[in-house]
Amino acid sequence: MTLRHFGWFLGAGFGVQGWGDPTYGIGYDWKQPTIYQDAARLFERSGLDALIIEDGVAVPDTYRGTAEVNLAAARFVPKHDPIPLVPYLLGATERIGIVPTLSASFTEPYTAARLLATLQHFAHGRLGYNVVTSGSDLAAQNYGLEKQTEHDLRYDRADEWVEVVKALWRSWEPGAVLEDTERGVYADFTKVHRIDHEGRFFRVRGPLNALPPAEEPVMVQAGASGRGRTFAGRHADVILALASTPERMKAHRDDIRAVAAEQGRDPDALTVLFVVNPIPTANAEDTAAVRARRSELTQAAIDEQLQSISYLTNLDFARFDLDAPLPEVATNSNQGTLDNFVRSAPAGSTLREILAARAKADGLAVIGTPAEIADALGTLGEASGADGFLFTGQVHPAHVHRTLDPLVPALRDAGLLRRELGDGGLRANLADF
């Protein structure tokens, strides 16, 4: 098999870890850095390229018009800002990439450029940043807006946001810093320039007053809609992607690479990573039991799916009859997420049938013995052309160890997972193969 890149996508963000597990809270406090540092060390020893930390800035109350379900189950909330966590993770590791999420909708480009430049100096080339466009109306209302900006317009703004951030990083020419103690000249003023950006969305004078990084952080992006894929193909170094079949994975990767080529980029410079949820089991009997348990469509399972899709799409799915065909729906929020949800079952299916299909198939889950999971990921990689995979899940210690302890040896035995990371930084590690 071919070596693939692997990472860990912390979909719960800097939030509650392990709620619902019998060992929740034993020996750790999710609000403190230690649990994340321990997980990052394990990821690094395992040869994972990066830890990507999701984020959000709202308390969801779309489903049934209340935050009850989300708060009771600690889903999407509470959530702390991941940026202050980054230095702790960098200090606890040496080679793995650390990738917090930043919203291009709610973070001014000067603030982002300065913040990321500072962190990249700490990181010695190991920093990434996951750019999102924040489709939630609830989030928008926390920043003075009545509702979120129109979908494609958010990406137009994000295009300009990336342009300004990178212009600020490049406002200091190479060689601008002299540190000439004899002449008493720290930096050559002729090599530090204003950017004088005046665009559709931003006016930024520049130059950046922080010292730009020697190597720009790696940009991660997860746009799944047509406009989102255009944005990702134009700018991103790493694509965080969700797809439930090898055919959809291949189509997604091919589309992103085609956009990159149209923009004059080398498609091979992009690393497309698909999110999967590996669930190692002991044997066939255990596998069958896990599948049966996960396919049960209990009321709790229904609530879990519907509160999630409601929040991510700004549509309250509680208003739809579970046993009637789901009507045509559209959103100004996460269009790719909605499309994946609707396409989980044949056209004309009821909402209950869609939920049942998702519970049964659980497109992100790969269930089996460690050797079976390794074989499945190898086959999936060959069929889709995926550059690698992002394991999704919390960093609750029991979950992390029961996933990686059996799986890492199997992936290495299969020739899929590297033995150790290089020490040249995140960008260099991604370029290794």
pLDDT in tens, 222-252: 988 899 999 999 999 999 999 888 999 999 9
Task: Choose among 399, 422, 392, 424: nearest CA to 3.
Answer: 422
Q: pLDDT band at residue 88, thresholds of 50, 70 and 90? A: very high
| Integer Cα distance of 11 and 393 in angstroms | 6
How many angstroms separate the Cα of 424 from the Cα of each of 49, 90, 95, 121, 126? 12, 14, 8, 14, 8
Write the pLDDT tens digit of every residue in 30-80. 999 999 999 999 999 999 999 999 999 999 999 999 999 999 999 999 999
Cis, peptide link before residue 78, omega less than 30° from 0: yes
Q: What's the whole-number mean pLDDT along residues 404-425?
A: 98
Domain ranges across the chain? 5-430
Closest Cα partner for 57 from 168, 133, 124? 133
Question: Strand, coil or helix: what is 44?
Answer: helix
Q: Which amino acid would we find at residue 10? A: L
Alpha carbon 248 to chain centroid distance?
19
Tokens of 182: 């004899």
Residue 221 structure tokens: 């992006």
Written as six digits, the tokens of 423 are 């020490």
pLDDT of residue 294: 87
Cα separation, 416 vs 388, in Å, equals 9
* pLDDT for position 357: 85
pLDDT of residue 336: 84
Return the sign of the alpha-carbon dihedral for residues 29, 425, 54, 326: negative
Q: Is the pLDDT of residue 359 over 90?
A: no
pLDDT at residue 220 is higher than 80: yes
Averaged pLDDT, 294-316: 90
The token pair at 431 is 């370029």
For residues 49 and 433, is the Cβ–Cβ distance under 8 A? no
Residue range 5-430, CATH number: 3.20.20.30
Over residues 345-349, mean pLDDT: 91
Mean pLDDT (the chain) is 95
CB–CB of 245/363 below 8 Å?
A: yes
Which pLDDT value is given to residue 364?
A: 84
Percent of the chain with pLDDT over 90: 88
> Per-residue b/e over 329-355, b at no fewer than 16 CB within 10 Å?
eebbbbbbbbebbbebbeeebbbbbbb
| 363: pLDDT strictly greater than 70 | no
Q: With a cut of 80, say whether residue 360 has pLDDT above it.
A: no
Average pLDDT over residues 396-416: 97
- Written as one string, the DSSP assignment of 390-407 is EEE----HHHHHHHHHHH
Nearest to 163 by CA among 110, 238, 120: 110
Q: Does residue 116 surpass a pLDDT of 80? A: yes
Q: Residue 6 pLDDT > 70, yes or no?
A: yes
The Cα–Cα gap between 175 and 187 comes to: 8
Gap between the Cα atoms of 428 and 421, Å rounded: 10
Within a 10 A sphere around the Cβ of 255, how many other Cβ atoms? 15
Tokens of 171: 């406002």
